Structures are given as structure tokens and as C-alpha cells.
């Protein structure tokens, strides 16, 4: 891939000799969050008229969606070799997982 992403300045990228994957991160995140929300809502709706477990699964999907968003951002910044932002994404992900561990511990 040699196309420069519009998320960074082409001149700076060329000067650094870096190449970036095509496209931008924002539309990908937009699609993930929009579709993810509607899918999770559909699962909740089905669960409310059929089974509480399915409704709980839908709620788990809602809660997981922002976590997946951070994972996607982490992957993107690793790909474009923006290691500072990748490390920050990793930090946020770690805190989110700590929250889950706290909940699991009761």
C-alpha cells in the first residue's frame, strides 16, 4: 500500500518516507458504531420478547461495542506506525479490562 491516508499530512509523511494504508479511520469507526448499535438493539428487542438471556446478550454487545472501537483504533495506529497513539490505545484497553476484572471479582 502506498497511498497516503488523509488522517495525516501528506508532506510530512513523504518527508519521513512512511507509507500508510489507504482510507481514513473515521468512516470505519462510524460504520462499526452505527451497525454495532443497531445489531445490539435488534438482539435486545428479540430477547425482550423471547428470552432474558438473549436480552442480556444484547446488553453485553452494547457494552462491548466501545471496547471493540478501542481495539480497532489500536490496530489502526499500529498499522500506520503511530506508536504513541497505539500505546495510549493499549493503556485505555488495559483499564477497560481491569474494570471487567473488578466486576468479575465481585
Partner 1 sequence: MTMLWLFAVGLGASALGGMLGMAGGIFVVPILTMFGHVDIRTAIGASIVSVIACSCGSAGTFLRERLTNIRLAIVLEVATTLGALTGVVLAGVVSAQVLFVLFAIVLVVSAQQMVQRRADPIVGVPAAGDRSSTPGTPGTPGAPARWAALGLDATYPDRALGGDVGYRVDRLPLGLTFMYGAGLLSALLGIGSGVLKIPAMDSALRLPIKVSSATSSFMIGVTAAASAGAYFLRGDIVAGIAGPIALGSVVGAVLGARVLLRVSNARLRVLFVGVLVALAVQMVAAAFGVELVHGAQAG
Binding site for partner 1 (CB under 8 A): 6-9, 11-12, 24-27, 29-31, 33-34, 36-38, 40-41, 44-45, 47-48, 52, 55-56, 58-60, 62-67, 69-70, 73, 82, 84-85, 88-89, 91-92, 95-96, 98-100, 102-104, 106
Spatial contact of 74 and 89, defined as CB atoms under 8 Å apart: yes
Nearer to partner 1, 22 or 59 (CB): 59
We find the least distance from the C-beta atom of residue 17 to partner 1, in angstroms, to be: 14
Nearer to partner 1, 2 or 102 (CB): 102
Q: Which residue in 34, 32, 39, 28 sits closest to 5, CA to CA?
A: 28
Spatial contact of 61 and 40, defined as CB atoms under 8 Å apart: yes
Query: Which residue is it, cell 500505546?
Result: 87
Spatial contact of 80 and 8, defined as CB atoms under 8 Å apart: yes
Amino acid at each position: 500500500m502506498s497511498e497516503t491516508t488523509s488522517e495525516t499530512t501528506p508532506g510530512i509523511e513523504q518527508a519521513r518516507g512512511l507509507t500508510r494504508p489507504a482510507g481514513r479511520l473515521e468512516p470505519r469507526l462510524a460504520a462499526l458504531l452505527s451497525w454495532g448499535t443497531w445489531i445490539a438493539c435488534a438482539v435486545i428487542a428479540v430477547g425482550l420478547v423471547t428470552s432474558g438471556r438473549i436480552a442480556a446478550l444484547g446488553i453485553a454487545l452494547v457494552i462491548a461495542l466501545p471496547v471493540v472501537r478501542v481495539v480497532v483504533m489500536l490496530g489502526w495506529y499500529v498499522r500506520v506506525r503511530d506508536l504513541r497513539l497505539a500505546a495510549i490505545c493499549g493503556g485505555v484497553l488495559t483499564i477497560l479490562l481491569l474494570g471487567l476484572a473488578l466486576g468479575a471479582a465481585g
